[in-house]
Structure 1
């Protein structure tokens, strides 16, 4: 008998989008139609292969009492059944499209449910069973009837079921395969997580109800009017009470309106009434157009200050609840983010409702990525294979039809990193025809043949500037289009660096319409032993490590220093001025809103302490306008010292997204310079029985090593040039530029040796000469420590001279020492959070307090973190330390070497000392985990340097 393939391949490996599902349509909720959520606890059985079990479980009489239970929405691999898999772009199965492995985890889901007592009968219309998201392929039965199957994990699919429903004992059976032909189209950089992960809903469809409708609500900025037309497949009437509109479907009405924008998201409540139901609408009037080579909304060019957003929750994966989605939107608004690219699939529809309500520009992206075909030079890529085109068009249609009535959606995106081909052209043509009111985006279309936006990923600053100046060349069509960075500033671990430098370019050149930071959230999975797990922690054969942890918020949604920096860089009000003349220039950087919603305050600070503060009258400047505002006279009798003005812009009243007094923007203006600490070298070194004393300092007379200051035991300060490499230091393997982390290790900078060359105690100083160098290299740093004292204070001056041909910058340059005990830290300098040379915009000069533990930044993979910049002085562990010049401060309960060796935060165990780094400088952070490295001005070159610290015993400091 000839071999017969498993019948399951008829749909699992079929390149078509499926069969049995209804055509795509607009998503809406009817006020007159019943609905029943089928979310909750379902029975579940996992099989190792697609054909391991028959389909008898779909029958009503089947006994599933012995099955396990899972939550729906949910992923079974996050509920104790199998394991997640993380890859960036590699397919975790052999690339042989459309075939998938026989080892294909398959989850059978079963739910028995009753209809509500008031559920309408068959004579009152039909019913639809809707799945909002299932990964990756599902076959559906209701009461034993095979409804069909579908692919397209992050897209809605509906089935007509009205004639199959029973009053009680309905049996819904769903077979979900982890792998299918559709998996080849869903190779996004994220965890592979099978399951029914979005809502399942039963919807009543009254007779005479609309199957689909399209709200066209444009705005004419010249006349201040909006034009409304609602096209529907059935006749009805549209009413907008606030506007006095009452028109039939297909008819138009033009009336004065307030437009919708991300800054002022004005929505009008409306109703579409048909013979069968009343559908509530929320209408935002706005027009998107390409004009003068720019994306304009309501006649004005917009500057996207955006993020790429994967859906993620550390316990539930992509099964997000409404509160989590709202939390994302509120965090974005509170951090001045104005745009979201839904990387790389349409989000849960409730997220777009929130974007409409609170105001965010959205690039809505299709559920398409075939990135793994780069390994084959794009051979066999589905987007250039006509057999796959129906599936691609189905995905485009299900996105556009579902989301077309959202005013927040201003750009459609064909997908991400799927190469090029005829299928993408077909998608672009279909979208342009179906919805000409929005431009089409696709980064991979470098010639812009099918798209309306020139889009790039991770272009460096110099290239972005050339593009902004129109010097990039390329096809004529591309040169006429606006430019955005759909991904930039890779927010992996410590970073991203260079945000402020990008923003200056965006604001300088009109053609540059901003960008979208990669990405919003770290995809760490909550783990009882590791804290948060990443790729490889589940025994995956192929994985990409912690590359999945590259967000501006940590897995628990705490903002990272990167998000705090981004908020400052993109703040919508600029504050600048000259402390000498007491004038501050306020500039409105909004695209649409004036400054009437903001209140401004000033404070006058001396040595970090606020002396006086008050309100600052600022006119309600229109977008783009500036005004010079006079500050008050410095308070009479203010103490002498380093003086600053700090001007803040806060919400004048509660907003939907933040309370009154929420900080929106701020700036600082220097009035007087800092007084540099001076220590007269009046004390003399005294030697006694192997101990040398100089002022409050005690030293080992043989080695010159400091052992105590004023009775506080210390581990002697020594030159430190190593930092636990950041994800951006280590870079991505495919980066063509220099990756500093590997070079630093190759040179041996993580294992420097200290040679004592001489100790000299003369009349007014103790001088210790050393050479600091890595094994196996001729490179070195001649280092001299010179100690002086005035009797009460101890000054250390460090002089460093490079020896040999240094071809790479240093990670850091400073001293490190240990204290036996320290918990609380107080400092005057940049704060309150972490900052580095190219991530310092958000560091405000002031007096700050913290515990040692709170100074640590909890990156999912431990790495260099927690530095505070521009520190004038710090008090901790019974010492006060002043710097000349200002320094970077890092305090932690483990050494940099221990930090470097840790794979998870749970690997870090506090020791018996607190380690303090006083850095003259550090190398920049950059974005090279996927983007460019630090700009040249942030490189720490190995060159002669000298810096000093003044130590004073401070017994009250603990």
Structure 2
């Protein structure tokens, strides 16, 4: 009875795979409340599948569902390591097994008709019974399986569907994707009538000739079926023949034109939405409708923080709309076919999609790839079956640009049969598989996380295949950096055709007031917060990384140069018709003029200078900001500085007397009050709460920082000089156990209402390690909760992630400056700040002026508390606001998976100066 668990991942009893079709044939949705019990092993329990079995004592579970999300067992996260011994095809005896039962009625008029039972997703395998009779076994969690249940149904009566779902099966060895292990029937279950003379399968081929504008349509369907596309003048024409159509509108992600079509027989009609496009590799380029494809993509897992693998349709549509709003034009379905409904939306909204086979064996790498299924003929049938199911189901979607054989499964003899199976079904789409560096079985060359210099080297090669980065810019925690660098490479080298950010969403599971990650459920083997690596938080709130991505990939580019602004059309297929350019001129952050003009109707890739408005802007710092909009949506933004600010005068003229300098009070060299406002600091600070890109990777810079003692600096006052018109404090700042140090000279000057700090820092000793940050920290009363600043904004930005930060005047709160990364870390920096105020409800507080600028963070907990926190609920507001005024930060990079910050974004231990003026603000 249990041999199906170890039969090398082969499904049993299924009918041949076919396309997902929208049919008018009768069907029954079996979603809803099912009876459920959880057993500890695969063989526990009894003959629960019997039609007369009494399940009154069982629980009720919704289907679709992932049962650990409903309190049955626990989720478990691993990235690479299998959570069970590598002993293929065997699985542990301790194998959580969920028994499901559903009673349903079948209409009497279904008698005599063929009926299929369809499962869209069962993790990891399901043994299926109808009215006590076994009908088959699913294998392939994210794949569709259908069973012919005609002989077992009782039309006009109640029927019983029983499914035994095992968490582990031989198929689990083929599904080692980087995600939570979440068993259950997590996609729809339906009964579908297959009428005699109906349309079991349909394959629409809608090609576009970019040279002539003609479309060619052929629909493969049963002989005698009729095709109609009313908008194109086709009514009841023959299938299985080519129809040449004049002047069709092509489908592209930017212009996703779809034509409603139907294929009919006397007993069934199938509805299709046709998109005319041709994908081909031409002269080393992957093209769509004759133009080079530029993937501005993301990798997308199916995940919901409360439901696990179940994502409601309204959530899916909203997340795709969020992608479009941030100029994402492509999705890689990592690492399995998605719910079929996703591709309908991608057709409609416009995305290139790489549909990936449900296949990954990454954990075998840790054993030197011994017994890897990719190179083991015992697994060939299962792998070919998975590839066929992937291609057959989704072959009618214009959005599908390539099929992928799988992910991180090594190489071996089974790649050939898988590729052959895909091409036999669909010879018109290219194949992808990153692991095949020889490109023996694929049509594109694909890599993960290559550093920029390697991308440039590949792009500069004279010949080769199209190059796609199927994963890059690991969006874990605060980051990724380097997005602009990669975009420039994609634009410089035509063969470098973009790629897919890893990944779309943080896989955090909601637990009360925070999100959990690996290890939070007691897993003996786990990979911690490595599953928290998305552009959106678990609740799909955009992270600063997504905001940055939107700015980097905005299709209308507004680039500043010596002559002003140049507008460039970064679309791949459409011109700029309908785009408006809204401009403002601001002086010291205040708008003094504004207007709007139509963008020039530039074709893809064309550019043109923008005439600058003639506006009298006085003597302040003047900026021209231009925002491009299309149908109300922002599609680009840029700035050019029209006039630099005059240098701000430093405060001077007051002499130091009795621990006071103008409005400032000092004690033992430290500023303790300013105009009646109590504060502590500022003093030199080098530490930041390490971001994930500091912690992970082959050479974590955070380990080097800790080894250098940068998190435990000791301050020693060397000298205090108050003899001149300044108060000068010299300190030696160093970690214990080393002669490495920084000499910090604080020079204070003042007038009646403000003080200026000129800080000069000189490193001494061996400083091979870069610094996390360089600046000063101070604490002010917690009542100063309102923040206003003139500088980069509105969101956080760092040296290699600042494309979205435009200079302006912004307002927020201390709480609003924080970014709630699931694992707390450095966040919230506002860049290139000229002036800032922190005030209480009366308007009183502290003003800070930069000479010329500084980096600003303010939070209600110390850096030490932020460093120690593991989840957001660990962060408890204290009585103070902790303010950092920084000369600079080490870059973000993407070293958690990929390269570190570029050399120019390293914060090296070199002499630096930071000059700021502090003034107490009265109500």
Q: TM-score range by the shorter chain?
A: over 0.9
Q: Is the 8 A contact 1:267 1:284 kept in 2?
A: yes
SS of 2:359's equivalent in the other structure is coil
How far off is 1:233 after superposition? Answer: 3.5
1:641 aligns with 2:620: yes
SS of 1:510's equivalent in the other structure is coil
1:549 aligns with 2:532: yes
1:111-169 CA-to-partner distances (Å, cap 9, x unmatched) read: 11123x5x63223x321111000000110001111111010000000111233223232
1:778 aligns with 2:728: no
Of the three residues 645, 656, 669, the one matched with 1:704 is 669
Paired residues for 1:409-808 under 5 Å: 409-470=400-461, 479-528=463-512, 531-578=514-561, 583-634=564-615, 636=616, 638-651=617-630, 653=631, 661-687=632-658, 692-700=659-667, 703-732=668-697, 735=698, 738-808=699-769
1:296 aligns with 2:278: no
Q: 1:597 to 1:12 in 2, by over 3 A?
A: farther
Q: Distance in 1 between matches of 2:224 and 2:849?
A: 77
SS of 1:209's equivalent in the other structure is coil
Q: Distance in 1 between matches of 2:162 and 2:599?
A: 63
Of the three residues 150, 162, 165, the one matched with 2:150 is 162
Q: Distance in 1 between matches of 2:110 and 2:375?
A: 48
How far off is 1:793 after superposition? Answer: 1.4
Moved more, 204-213 or 483-492: 204-213
Q: Distance in 2 between matches of 1:52 and 1:280?
A: 45
Q: Is the 8 A contact 2:260 2:273 kept in 1?
A: yes
Q: Is the 8 A contact 1:683 1:789 kept in 2?
A: yes
Q: Is the 8 A contact 1:679 1:793 kept in 2?
A: no
Task: Please name the residue that 2:199 is paired with.
Answer: 210
Q: Distance in 1 between matches of 2:109 and 2:746?
A: 87
SS of 2:810's equivalent in the other structure is strand
SS of 2:389's equivalent in the other structure is helix
Q: 1:769 to 1:577 in 2, by over 3 A?
A: closer
Q: Is the 8 A contact 2:578 2:598 kept in 1?
A: no
Q: Distance in 1 between matches of 2:10 and 2:325?
A: 40
Moved more, 353-362 or 790-799: 790-799
Q: Is the 8 A contact 1:48 1:106 kept in 2?
A: yes
1:138 aligns with 2:126: yes
Q: Distance in 2 between matches of 1:664 and 1:35?
A: 43
Q: Distance in 1 between matches of 2:311 and 2:196?
A: 33
1:41 aligns with 2:22: no
SS of 2:629's equivalent in the other structure is strand
Q: Is the 8 A contact 1:341 1:362 kept in 2?
A: yes
How far off is 1:16 after superposition? Answer: 4.2
Q: Distance in 1 between matches of 2:443 and 2:219?
A: 26
Moved more, 16-25 or 77-86: 16-25
1:938 aligns with 2:905: yes
Task: Please name the residue that 1:656 is paired with.
Answer: none
Moved more, 156-165 or 540-549: 156-165
Q: Distance in 2 between matches of 1:37 and 1:749?
A: 60
SS of 2:383's equivalent in the other structure is helix
Q: Distance in 2 between matches of 1:759 and 1:629?
A: 55
How far off is 1:577 after superposition? Answer: 3.8
Q: Is the 8 A contact 1:122 1:163 kept in 2?
A: no
1:349 aligns with 2:333: no
Q: Distance in 1 between matches of 2:443 and 2:414?
A: 17
TM-score normalised according to structure 2 size:
0.98
1:483-536 CA-to-partner distances (Å, cap 9, x unmatched) read: 01100000000000110011111101111000100000000000026x100000
How far off is 1:745 after superposition? Answer: 0.7
Task: Please name the residue that 2:842 is paired with.
Answer: none
How far off is 1:666 after superposition? Answer: 0.4
1:541-595 CA-to-partner distances (Å, cap 9, x unmatched) read: 100000000000000101000000001111111112457x5x5321101110111
Q: Distance in 1 between matches of 2:318 and 2:212?
A: 37
Q: Distance in 2 between matches of 1:549 and 1:319?
A: 18
1:222-280 CA-to-partner distances (Å, cap 9, x unmatched) read: 11010011111443011100001232110111012111011100000010012311111
How far off is 1:425 after superposition? Answer: 1.4
Q: Distance in 1 between matches of 2:465 and 2:266?
A: 45
Task: Please name the residue that 2:393 is paired with.
Answer: 402
Of the three residues 905, 924, 937, the one matched with 2:872 is 905
Q: Is the 8 A contact 1:245 1:253 kept in 2?
A: no
Q: Distance in 2 between matches of 1:416 and 1:214?
A: 26
How far off is 1:427 after superposition? Answer: 0.6
Q: Distance in 1 between matches of 2:175 and 2:922?
A: 61
SS of 1:105's equivalent in the other structure is strand
Paired residues for 1:231-270 under 5 Å: 231-246=220-235, 247-256=237-246, 257-270=248-261
Paired residues for 1:269-348 under 5 Å: 269-348=260-339
Q: 1:168 to 1:122 in 2, by over 3 A?
A: closer
Paired residues for 1:101-112 under 5 Å: 101-112=92-103
1:199 aligns with 2:182: no
Number of equivalenced pairs: 914
How far off is 1:676 after superposition? Answer: 2.6
Task: Please name the residue that 1:919 is paired with.
Answer: 886
SS of 1:19's equivalent in the other structure is coil
SS of 2:503's equivalent in the other structure is coil
Q: Distance in 1 between matches of 2:338 and 2:601?
A: 36
SS of 1:925's equivalent in the other structure is coil
1:298-324 CA-to-partner distances (Å, cap 9, x unmatched) read: 111111000000111100111111111
Q: Is the 8 A contact 1:468 1:510 kept in 2?
A: yes
Q: Distance in 2 between matches of 1:58 and 1:846?
A: 67
Q: Is the 8 A contact 2:129 2:162 kept in 1?
A: yes
Task: Please name the residue that 1:886 is paired with.
Answer: 853
Q: Distance in 2 between matches of 1:222 and 1:147?
A: 52
Paired residues for 1:15-94 under 5 Å: 15-31=8-24, 33-54=25-46, 56-94=47-85
How far off is 1:597 after superposition? Answer: 3.3
How far off is 1:696 after superposition? Answer: 1.1
1:781-813 CA-to-partner distances (Å, cap 9, x unmatched) read: 011111101222100011101010111100000
Of the three residues 168, 175, 182, the one matched with 1:179 is 168
Task: Please name the residue that 1:827 is paired with.
Answer: 789
Shift >4 Å, 4+ stretches? none
Q: Is the 8 A contact 2:22 2:272 kept in 1?
A: no
Q: Is the 8 A contact 1:616 1:631 kept in 2?
A: no
1:314-356 CA-to-partner distances (Å, cap 9, x unmatched) read: 0011111111110111011000000000000000001000000
Q: Distance in 1 between matches of 2:459 and 2:767?
A: 35
Q: Is the 8 A contact 1:411 1:441 kept in 2?
A: yes
1:28-64 CA-to-partner distances (Å, cap 9, x unmatched) read: 1212x1121111111111010101113x211121110
SS of 1:129's equivalent in the other structure is strand
Q: Distance in 2 between matches of 1:423 and 1:823?
A: 61
1:863-892 CA-to-partner distances (Å, cap 9, x unmatched) read: 000000000011004011011231110000
Of the three residues 209, 216, 222, the one matched with 2:211 is 222
1:618-674 CA-to-partner distances (Å, cap 9, x unmatched) read: 22211111122323211x4x44300111111112x3xxxxxxx22111000111112
How far off is 1:722 after superposition? Answer: 0.2
Q: Distance in 1 between matches of 2:303 and 2:591?
A: 41
